[in-house]
Structure formats: structure tokens, C-alpha cells
């Protein structure tokens, strides 16, 4: 394998890795070739520069509020994720009166929807899936979504003690590029939930753990898959605790991941 061939593969190597025979050849060449090492260093520097420059900006809050108002006006509001009250208070205190009004409207609609749904007795698979996706979205759109930020499950799991009336498992299976980011307390339907955030490469993955009593379609230790609005949801029950794993990764990838999570939650 010569330098030109290796340089063509540098991007693939960084983005998705290469299969063993090819990957090993590239690694061996890189280890022995200063020119290709420099090319790799330049490419990595370019990646770092672009990420530091282009990913630091978020959409203006005025634009977000405008879109939320428009969606509410068009009858889309029933899907507005109902933020935890503490987050709402933080938002309300840090935003203009107009924004607070918009959020209050969102909250009112969410409460209306919850009331209309009649509590967990009326929960269907579609409701359960939709709620899991909404919870995932809440984490994604929140400005400070995590109450404990740590990549170590022995720090994240104990943090939930005293905050929940059940003990969720915080699995961290050995999967390349899977990293635990932290956790927070949220709500799943009518009950408190542990919200655990991971990243798989650049994809966000949310694990929700909640009391499973009264909820349908939670197979014991065997994750079942559903989807809503482009997100895949795996759900299962272990030791009386319900779990839902949500992400925008491909369904088959989420299933593999969920199987590993379920194996850990069963212990």
C-alpha cells in the first residue's frame, strides 16, 4: 500500500474505521511513514478547526420561539414536549415576557393533552413510543439538559439515589464510540424517570428508566422496537423497571445496542 492509497483512506479511517485487513494495512503504513503521519495530522487539525468554528453556534432563541408559536398556532402543539417545571422556571426567568407566554401556552397544551389522555390507563404503544421520543427531544433541545455530567456510571447511578423511588440500572456496554454523558431527572408519562444521555459517535442516545407498573408493551428483558417521527425506540422491562432507549440511529443498530443494554439491566 503506497502513500497515495493511504491518503485517500484517511477520511474513512477517521469517520467510520476500516475493516480489519485494510485497517491494519493503513495503520502499519501510518506507523512507518512520516509523510502520511503529517497528512493525518493536517486532516485532524482541519477537523478540529471546523468543529470549533462551525458547531459553536445555536439557532437564535427568537427564531426557536417564533417557530414554537407558529407550530402551536397550526395545531401542532399537542406534540410540544412538556419540559420539567424546574427547566420551565429557568426558561421563564431568563426569557422575555413573550417567550414566557409562549412556554406557558405550551405547558397548558401539554397538561391538557395529559388530562385528555386520562392517565396511564389509556396508554397505548403509540403513546408510549411518542412519549419516549418527546423525552429524547426534550434532552436535545434543552440548553442545560444534564444535571450530572459524567462519563462514569459509578458516578451517574448513585446520583439518582434519593431522587427516585426505584433504582435504575445505568448500563455502559462496551461498544465502540459509545460514551455516557450524564443524567437528569425527567418525567415519563405520569411518573418520574431517570434520563440518561449517551453519545454514539455524533448521535445522541437517550435511555429512560421509569416504574413499569401499569404500562403495556414492555417485554421482560427482551427489547421490542417501534418508531415515531424518524426516531427508533427500543423498550423493555427488567426487575419492575421500564426502560426505553431512543435515538435517530438506524433501527437495526438501535436493536443491537438495546440488546446489550437489556442484558446489563437484567443483572
Q: Quick check: 157 and 102 in contact, CB under 8 A?
A: no
Contacts (CB under 8 A) with another protein, residues 83-122: none
Q: Find the binding residues for another protein in span 22-41 (CB under 8 A).
A: 35, 38-39, 41
Nearest approach, Cβ of 56 to another protein (angstroms)? 8
167 binds another protein (CB under 8 A): no
Cell of 158: 448513585
Residue 5 in contact with another protein, rule: CB under 8 A:
no
DSSP 19-55: -HHHHHHHHHHHHH-HHHHHHHHHHHHHHHHHHHHHS
Q: Using CB atoms within 10 Å of the CB of residue 95, give its burial: 0 to 12 exposed, 13 to 18 middle, 19+ buried.
A: middle
| Out of 201, 214, 216, 219, the residue judged to bind another protein by CB under 8 A | 201
126 binds another protein (CB under 8 A): no
- Contacting residue, 176, 202, 240, 267, with another protein by CB under 8 A: 202
The three-point CA angle 71-73-75 to 5° equals 75
End-to-end CA distance of the chain: 47
Q: Which of 1, 28, 63, 85 binds another protein (CB under 8 A)?
A: 63
Q: Which residues, 218 to 247, sit near another protein by CB under 8 A?
A: 227, 229-232
Question: Shortest approach of another protein to residue 40 CB, angstroms?
Answer: 11
Residue 140 as a binder of another protein (CB under 8 A): the answer is: yes
C-beta of 100: minimal distance to another protein in Å? 18
Using CB under 8 A, pick the residue from 11, 111, 126, 167 that binds another protein: 11
User: What residue spans of the chain are helical by DSSP H?
Assistant: 3-15, 20-32, 34-54, 61-73, 85-94, 97-117, 125-141, 153-159, 251-265
- For another protein, the binding residue among 2, 31, 58, 97 (CB under 8 A) is 58
Q: Within 10 A of 204 (CB to CB), how many other CB atoms are there?
A: 18
Closer of 138 and 211 to another protein (Cβ)? 138
- Cβ neighbours for 171, distance < 8 A, ≥ 6 positions apart: 153, 207, 260, 261, 264, 265
Phi first, then psi, for residue 154 (nearest 5°) are: -75, -10
CB 218 within 8 A of CB 235: yes
101 vs 155, beta carbon nearer another protein: 101
Residue ranges that bind another protein, judged by CB under 8 A:
4, 7-8, 11, 15-16, 35, 38-39, 41-43, 45-46, 49-60, 63-64, 66-68, 70-71, 74, 76, 79-81, 133-134, 136-137, 140-141, 201-203, 227, 229-232, 248, 251
Amino acid at each position: 500500500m503506497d502513500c497515495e492509497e493511504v491518503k485517500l483512506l484517511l477520511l474513512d479511517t477517521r469517520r467510520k474505521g476500516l475493516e480489519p485487513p485494510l485497517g491494519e494495512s493503513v495503520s502499519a503504513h501510518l506507523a512507518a511513514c512520516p509523510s502520511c503521519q503529517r497528512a493525518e495530522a493536517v486532516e485532524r487539525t482541519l477537523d478540529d478547526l471546523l468543529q470549533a468554528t462551525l458547531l459553536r453556534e445555536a439557532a437564535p432563541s427568537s427564531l426557536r420561539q417564533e417557530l414554537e408559536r407558529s407550530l402551536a398556532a397550526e395545531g401542532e402543539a399537542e406534540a410540544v414536549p412538556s419540559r420539567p417545571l424546574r427547566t420551565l422556571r429557568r426558561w421563564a426567568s431568563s426569557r422575555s415576557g413573550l417567550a414566557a407566554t409562549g412556554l406557558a401556552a405550551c405547558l397548558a397544551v401539554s397538561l391538557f393533552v395529559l388530562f385528555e389522555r386520562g392517565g396511564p390507563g389509556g396508554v397505548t404503544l403509540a403513546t408510549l413510543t411518542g412519549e419516549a421520543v418527546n423525552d429524547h427531544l426534550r434532552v436535545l433541545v434543552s440548553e442545560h439538559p444534564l444535571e450530572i455530567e459524567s462519563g462514569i456510571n459509578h458516578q451517574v447511578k448513585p446520583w439518582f439515589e434519593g431522587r427516585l423511588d426505584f433504582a435504575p440500572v445505568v448500563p455502559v456496554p462496551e461498544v465502540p464510540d459509545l460514551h455516557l454523558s450524564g443524567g437528569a431527572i425527567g418525567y415519563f408519562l405520569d411518573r418520574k424517570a431517570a434520563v440518561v444521555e449517551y453519545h454514539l459517535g455524533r448521535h445522541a442516545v437517550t435511555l429512560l428508566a421509569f416504574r413499569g407498573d401499569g404500562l403495556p408493551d414492555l417485554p421482560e428483558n427482551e427489547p421490542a422496537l417501534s418508531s415515531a417521527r424518524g426516531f427508533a425506540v427500543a423498550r423493555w422491562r427488567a426487575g419492575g423497571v421500564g426502560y426505553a432507549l431512543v435515538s435517530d440511529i438506524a433501527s437495526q443498530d438501535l436493536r443491537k445496542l438495546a440488546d446489550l443494554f437489556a442484558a446489563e439491566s437484567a443483572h
